[in-house]
Structure 1
């Protein structure tokens, strides 16, 4: 009985905190016109080696990651931690933060593998690791929530960011097979948005019912309401623009693990 109540409390806590507000951390809202670029080749090499496509999902082969490649991931994260992203252009910064978020998430899973879900990695009364300080950049300890909700969302104000960051879950927009760069960001954002919205885990229209990912409920403010949300979705598929019925939501927290 105690376990049941703990689960209920955890789930209620999650749903009350599932959508942190987009609140700018002004420290990070700086950039330069520097022509310097940030090297993401180590992250790309890991994606090439361990990410596979299966149906609507890209899956990570966590069980196959070698000790050498775990060290390569640590080296990549150390290289990012030693960078002050404020000394780069906004385009370089966006790619930096997305890749940092996604690579940190993979590291969290590898450090706690095997696990059935990232939601199991929080403390006793936590739903997941998103509020845990896990890296320091430019003298500031950061959590995954800091990166997403205090940097990416408020600085760029682009709802497609929700298709870029990956939470290691089947219900999440896919981890992209390409590392983000200043040059490919717009292409990857469009690709990831189209893929997610045209997958059942993103948008499922069947028998007059519209089932959406909970992302569109948790972050409704980023999509500016139901009418604007449908307009957003209809940019990538043409069968939802005129939908007038009830919307339901779903999300699968199972680990995005390759069998």
Structure 2
């Protein structure tokens, strides 16, 4: 990220999430940065913004029934992403590409869920949803796994994407009520990490039991944090685990960050709840 955005993000950071009041989507959407114009982006996200605002609540749960019966705006957005020429996409800067790909992944996931009639109880019940079903994106055919593993994880050193890619499960990070944009990307990704770690599906620190539990996502993709957050001393566990804990420590209270650094606890990965992230 360019230095100016990094500086802006640092100025906007607020106190850690665990042990303090977590952010709500309403607070995020009412912030000056969140309401900044999206005009600097090379792609229009208005249709996806309408989908998220209408069908995602402040806790990040999705009204899939409502979206299924009123899907025109989502389908229109998916078509628009398919019509971006590959040369146009290649000419975008890194922030524009990352925002576009995150939004594509989340939109394609929503579409995959509502294409099932009746709705499945879990995305895992949809055959081939990650590896076989293809979507048209910027002039190419891509699967969800292509977008996540062969593009976002492989071409960009940005582990915060794991707080933004939502695979429609309860244990996933919450879905935002707004799309990602290049203009706001650094701020949005930092906020997403804080929101994710404030939830019991992201991080649990039990000092009285000398136990720390973190999302299984940190286990599945732990190597993604090593290049930027790898550390030989401090924290607990192997190289991948220390890197993820070092990353997590940047987004929690100073007291709890110090506790993680001391490493006097048992580290565990939380069970992953694949139930659909639907509104009750």
TM-score bucket of the superposed structures, by smaller chain = 0.7 to 0.9
Question: Does residue 43 of structure 2 align to residue 38 of structure 1?
Answer: yes
Cα distance in structure 2, aligned partners of 1:252 and 1:78? 31
C-alpha distance 36-204 of structure 1, shift in aligned 2 (>3 A): closer
Question: Does residue 258 of structure 2 align to residue 243 of structure 1?
Answer: no
Cα distance in structure 2, aligned partners of 1:114 and 1:76? 21
TM-score for both structures, normalised by structure 2: 0.73
The match for 1:98 among 74, 96, 102 is: 102
Q: Which secondary structure state, in structure 1, belongs to the residue aligned with residue 268 of structure 2?
A: strand
Cα distance in structure 1, aligned partners of 2:262 and 2:177? 33
- The number of residues matched between the two structures is 216
Q: Is the 8 A contact 2:50 2:73 kept in 1?
A: no
Deviations 1:74-130 (A, max 9, x none): 11100001103213222211111010000000001111141111011125xxxxx11
Cα distance in structure 2, aligned partners of 1:66 and 1:167? 17
Question: Does residue 218 of structure 2 align to residue 213 of structure 1?
Answer: no
Q: Is the 8 A contact 1:164 1:189 kept in 2?
A: yes
For residue 161 of structure 1, report the CA deviation from its aligned partner.
0.8
Aligned residue in 2 for 1:254:
275
For residue 242 of structure 1, report the CA deviation from its aligned partner.
2.3
For residue 138 of structure 1, report the CA deviation from its aligned partner.
4.2
Cα distance in structure 1, aligned partners of 2:158 and 2:263? 24
For residue 66 of structure 1, report the CA deviation from its aligned partner.
5.6
Aligned residue in 2 for 1:204:
204
Deviations 1:214-242 (A, max 9, x none): 00100011122222221111101141332
Cα distance in structure 2, aligned partners of 1:138 and 1:182? 17
Cα distance in structure 2, aligned partners of 1:157 and 1:178? 23
Aligned residue in 2 for 1:6:
none
C-alpha distance 223-89 of structure 1, shift in aligned 2 (>3 A): closer
Q: Which consecutive aligned stretches of 4+ in structure 1 deviate over 6 angstroms post-superposition? A: none
Cα distance in structure 2, aligned partners of 1:132 and 1:209? 39
C-alpha distance 231-138 of structure 1, shift in aligned 2 (>3 A): closer
Q: RMSD in angstroms over aligned alpha carbons?
A: 1.6
Cα distance in structure 2, aligned partners of 1:229 and 1:186? 19
C-alpha distance 227-66 of structure 1, shift in aligned 2 (>3 A): closer
Cα distance in structure 2, aligned partners of 1:65 and 1:167? 16
Aligned residue in 1 for 2:71:
70
Deviations 1:168-212 (A, max 9, x none): 111011111110111011111000001112221111112211111
For residue 139 of structure 1, report the CA deviation from its aligned partner.
4.0
The match for 2:115 among 111, 114, 135 is: 111
Q: Is the 8 A contact 2:81 2:136 kept in 1?
A: no
Aligned residue in 1 for 2:247:
232
Q: Is the 8 A contact 2:41 2:182 kept in 1?
A: no
For residue 257 of structure 1, report the CA deviation from its aligned partner.
0.1
TM-score for both structures, normalised by structure 1: 0.79
Aligned residue in 1 for 2:18:
none
Aligned residue in 1 for 2:193:
193
**5+ long unaligned stretches in structure 2:** 1-39, 227-239
C-alpha distance 66-179 of structure 1, shift in aligned 2 (>3 A): same
Aligned residue in 1 for 2:170:
170
Cα distance in structure 1, aligned partners of 2:91 and 2:276? 35
